[in-house]
Structure 1
Amino acid sequence: MVAWICSFSCGARNFFSTWKPLHKSMASVEALGEEASDHRLRARSYIKRPREEYHDHLVSDYFSDNPLYPPNIFRRRFRMQMPLFLIHIVDELGKWSGYFTTRVDALGQQGLTPLQKCTAAIRQLANGSAADHLDESLKIGETTSMEAMKYFVEGVIAVFGERYLRRPTKEDAERLLKIGERRGFPGMFGSIDCMHWQWERCPTAWKGQFTRGDQKVPTIILEAVASHDLWIWHAFFGVAGSSNDINVLQQSHLFMEELKGQAPRVQYMVNGNQYNTGYYLADGIYPEWAVFVKSISMPISDKDKLYAQEQEGKRKDIKRAFGVLRRRWSVLKKPARLYDRGQLEKVVLACIVLHNMIVEDEKKVEDIEENLDLNEAPSTVTVQEPEFSPEDYVPFERVLQNEQVYLNEERAVVELGKSEDRSGKLTSDVWYLDTSVSNHMTGNRGVFSELDQSITGTVKFGDGSVVDIVGRGTIIFAAQDG
């Protein structure tokens, strides 16, 4: 009897010692579940911000008849003049959405004013600051500040994008071509290049796709075209950072209007020859298309050196535009802290729209009016209306035909015919013009119709061998299309 009682007691002791930690773990799980399910039932923490008082401070600082800060400080902090921000942007956004109006909640308390929301958004874009950085000066919380920025960039694109993200119209094309002609490049619309924006919140699984060796960090690429006045005429954003400029060009919509016949038709003269296709200045990576004019990588003659110097100098317009854009909107200079690529695209396009608005607003009178010079030769540029309007239906076969003719030109096969080599033996040479280089060489002197033997130098090949240059000349050939 005693033994039985002792064995029962030992078993009970073991049971209760095992059940106690299990009970504690179950209690902790239940507590976590209640905390996760009931967090919305608890009272939210509320910070009573004196919004109306700080709205009055904002008005007295910048927007009153006698503001505390002068116009130059407003220009530095808001990146634009006060009338452009207050009259043109804030008022138009108020007409676009009720979010940018002063609303009253259910308790009769006044919410944030349009000035506070737009100021919070423009400061985030201009300074690249965190969402809660302006809570002390504007009394706007982190979530509301981020929400205001998202609505702001969406509204800027919706209201002003049609005008300030447009492709060149007939009048724009005529003005750009005349400017290019005065700068020594008839037929030039502008310069093209790409810019990388670091993506800090890139998902780990995508980092290999968005990281390139020279960048070291995940980036997203912006392709743009800019003119001499820093106006950005084309913007294409969203390609993974591991791509190069050619990969971006293949996905871009840069030539879509030209292929559909909806772009202005241009004509201009160069050295007595008429051309019907405008072009962009580009660096060496872009393909050998008629719409791209590139520099000479290894100029030899003085003429080639002068051309390379002028082309590389005028090509810096897009670099200047990128520099001003990132300097003006520091959010593009700092790593992107948003997860959504679509939202990042809206931020970039909104910054470009605001950039073009500032360029137009601050353009000097002498930049708008043409200086007439009676001693200057008249312009040879003529611009006509597009063949099709944007509302017209364009057959897809026409797009494919134009793409084959203007963009995907095959390499020309040059038949030089028979000639004598150095030993006097007749040979037949066939040259394939390589689109990746600017100079082509041959050891057969008889193929040249003209030869300038005053040009000398050396060329070093990849295997280390060196060949002497004994002249530069011209050849006459017939391509595949006659």
Structure 2
Amino acid sequence: MASNSWWSSSSSDEEEMFFANVVVKAAQILLEEEEEEEDGSSENVITRRIRINRDREGAHEKLVNDYFSDAPLYNADIFKRRFRMSCRLFTRIADDLAGLDPFFTQRPDARNYEGFTTLQKCTAAIRQLANGTVADALDEYLQMSARTSRECLYRFCHNVVKLYSKQYLWKPNAYDVQQLYQAHEARHGFPGMLGSIDCMHWAWHNCPNAWRGQYTRGDHGHPTLILEAVASQDLWIWHSFFGLPGSLNDLNVLYKSTIFSDVVNGIGPDTRFTVSGVEYRRGYYLADGIYPSWATIVKTISFP
């Protein structure tokens, strides 16, 4: 499940850029996973589907009154906690998806009943990504079956990557490198600094029992997945490497990640910088003490 991505943007709204990157990254990771279908036997079994007359229109009205009306029942803080993004970012993504894929517009179904709205379909997808719930967890609220909710999720991920990958998933060029140098030197006094590299652990509550030993480290006490990221001073995460077992440490993750692949292959951007008349060939990352003593990594200095 490990994958890597780079991204940058010129937007002035740093918080929106951060949440947009998280959405695109989560969508990309989910698309890379193979969907597994568990069948009870190798033979095709014909089953009769149960038809439930769901109140789609009523569910849409309740959703609008709860979150998207002029005076919503739940405020912006609750919205951000439940959707993991602001309402403004949500509506921007929903509008873009509706303009790209007719699936995210309201259309009549085979029985000529009005289908789900754009808000309902995007809510189903984003709540699954945000909370890691099963497909039919919001059936009572959105009046949406597990099959439709799952289709919303996969179409959402596919179209989000298609829409925003060129803007949020790209390698930094020479201009971006110089902008990072100037910002870090002005704010922190570190010339030639590309960003800060570190790893964090995300709790994996639904980890299978057979994998718990591999994904659990003693100081955490529960299964985790590791995210390695490089962040700049304004929350740009332009490198991320996600999915390694939580029993590894930062050094193990570094040896498996692809952060220095372009440097090794000689295809990365020009990162030269000059300090006190001395030219250095490569920029560096600020890291903690566990990282190796490489030219591209600067660790904490006890007595500067």
**Residue identity matched to 1:267:** R
Instruction: Please report how far the alpha carbon of residue 231 of structure 1 lies from its aligned counterpart in structure 2 after TM superposition.
Output: 1.5
Structure 2: unaligned runs, 5 residues or longer: 1-42
Number of the residue aligned with 1:151: 155
Number of the residue aligned with 2:13: none
**Residue identity matched to 2:226:** I
Number of the residue aligned with 1:93: 97
SS of residue matched to 2:271 = strand
Q: Distance in 1 between matches of 2:86 and 2:206?
A: 33
Number of the residue aligned with 1:140: 144
Instruction: Please report how far the alpha carbon of residue 179 of structure 1 lies from its aligned counterpart in structure 2 after TM superposition.
Output: 1.1
Q: Distance in 1 between matches of 2:217 and 2:84?
A: 32
Number of the residue aligned with 1:281: 286
Q: Distance in 2 between matches of 1:47 and 1:79?
A: 31
Number of the residue aligned with 1:407: none
User: Measured at CA, do residues 41 and 294 of structure 1 come closer, stay the same or move farther in structure 2, by a change above 3 Å?
Assistant: closer
Are residue 124 (structure 1) and residue 128 (structure 2) matched?
yes
Number of the residue aligned with 1:257: 262
**Residue identity matched to 2:117:** T
Instruction: Please report how far the alpha carbon of residue 91 of structure 1 lies from its aligned counterpart in structure 2 after TM superposition.
Output: 2.9
Are residue 224 (structure 1) and residue 194 (structure 2) matched?
no
Q: TM-score, normalised by structure 2?
A: 0.73
Number of the residue aligned with 2:242: 237
Number of the residue aligned with 1:165: 169
User: Measured at CA, do residues 268 and 136 of structure 1 come closer, stay the same or move farther in structure 2, by a change above 3 Å?
Assistant: same
Q: Distance in 1 between matches of 2:282 and 2:174?
A: 14
Q: Are the equivalent residues in 1 in contact too, given 2:124–2:138 (CA < 8 A)?
A: yes
Number of the residue aligned with 1:267: 272
Taking the TM superposition and a 5 Å limit, the aligned residue runs for 1:15-414 are: 40-42=46-48, 44-59=49-64, 61-63=66-68, 66-68=70-72, 72=76, 74=79, 77-86=82-91, 88-127=92-131, 131-182=135-186, 183-296=188-301, 299=302, 304=303, 307=304
Where relative contact order (Cα < 8 A, 6+ residues apart) is larger, the structure is 2
Q: Are the equivalent residues in 1 in contact too, given 2:200–2:227 (CA < 8 A)?
A: yes
Q: Distance in 2 between matches of 1:67 and 1:78?
A: 18
**Of the two, which has the highest radius of gyration?**
1
SS of residue matched to 1:284 = coil
**Residue identity matched to 2:291:** Y
Instruction: Please report how far the alpha carbon of residue 252 of structure 1 lies from its aligned counterpart in structure 2 after TM superposition.
Output: 1.1
User: Measured at CA, do residues 71 and 172 of structure 1 come closer, stay the same or move farther in structure 2, by a change above 3 Å?
Assistant: farther
Q: Distance in 2 between matches of 1:80 and 1:283?
A: 30
Q: Distance in 1 between matches of 2:299 and 2:208?
A: 37
Q: Are the equivalent residues in 1 in contact too, given 2:64–2:72 (CA < 8 A)?
A: no
What is the alpha-carbon root mean square deviation over aligned residues?
A: 3.0
Instruction: Please report how far the alpha carbon of residue 245 of structure 1 lies from its aligned counterpart in structure 2 after TM superposition.
Output: 1.7
Q: Distance in 2 between matches of 1:209 and 1:100?
A: 40
Instruction: Please report how far the alpha carbon of residue 184 of structure 1 lies from its aligned counterpart in structure 2 after TM superposition.
Output: 1.0
Q: Distance in 2 between matches of 1:208 and 1:81?
A: 37
SS of residue matched to 1:237 = strand
Q: How many residues end up aligned between the 2 structures?
A: 260
Q: Distance in 2 between matches of 1:201 and 1:130?
A: 11
User: Measured at CA, do residues 154 and 195 of structure 1 come closer, stay the same or move farther in structure 2, by a change above 3 Å?
Assistant: farther
Residue-by-residue CA offset, 1:184-237 (whole Å, 9 max, x unaligned): 111111111112233344444433333333333333221111111111110111
User: Measured at CA, do residues 68 and 207 of structure 1 come closer, stay the same or move farther in structure 2, by a change above 3 Å?
Assistant: closer
Paired-residue identity, %: 51
Q: Distance in 1 between matches of 2:154 and 2:202?
A: 18
178-187 vs 145-154, which moves further? 145-154
Q: Distance in 1 between matches of 2:171 and 2:75?
A: 32
Q: Distance in 1 between matches of 2:209 and 2:62?
A: 44
Q: Distance in 2 between matches of 1:241 and 1:68?
A: 40
SS of residue matched to 1:265 = coil
SS of residue matched to 1:104 = coil
Q: Are the equivalent residues in 1 in contact too, given 2:271–2:281 (CA < 8 A)?
A: yes
**Residue identity matched to 1:263:** G
Q: Are the equivalent residues in 1 in contact too, given 2:174–2:271 (CA < 8 A)?
A: no
Instruction: Please report how far the alpha carbon of residue 115 of structure 1 lies from its aligned counterpart in structure 2 after TM superposition.
Output: 1.4
User: Measured at CA, do residues 158 and 242 of structure 1 come closer, stay the same or move farther in structure 2, by a change above 3 Å?
Assistant: farther
Instruction: Please report how far the alpha carbon of residue 249 of structure 1 lies from its aligned counterpart in structure 2 after TM superposition.
Output: 1.5
Q: Distance in 2 between matches of 1:215 and 1:287?
A: 24
Q: Distance in 2 between matches of 1:79 and 1:244?
A: 27
SS of residue matched to 2:114 = coil
Q: Distance in 2 between matches of 1:219 and 1:261?
A: 34
Instruction: Please report how far the alpha carbon of residue 256 of structure 1 lies from its aligned counterpart in structure 2 after TM superposition.
Output: 1.9
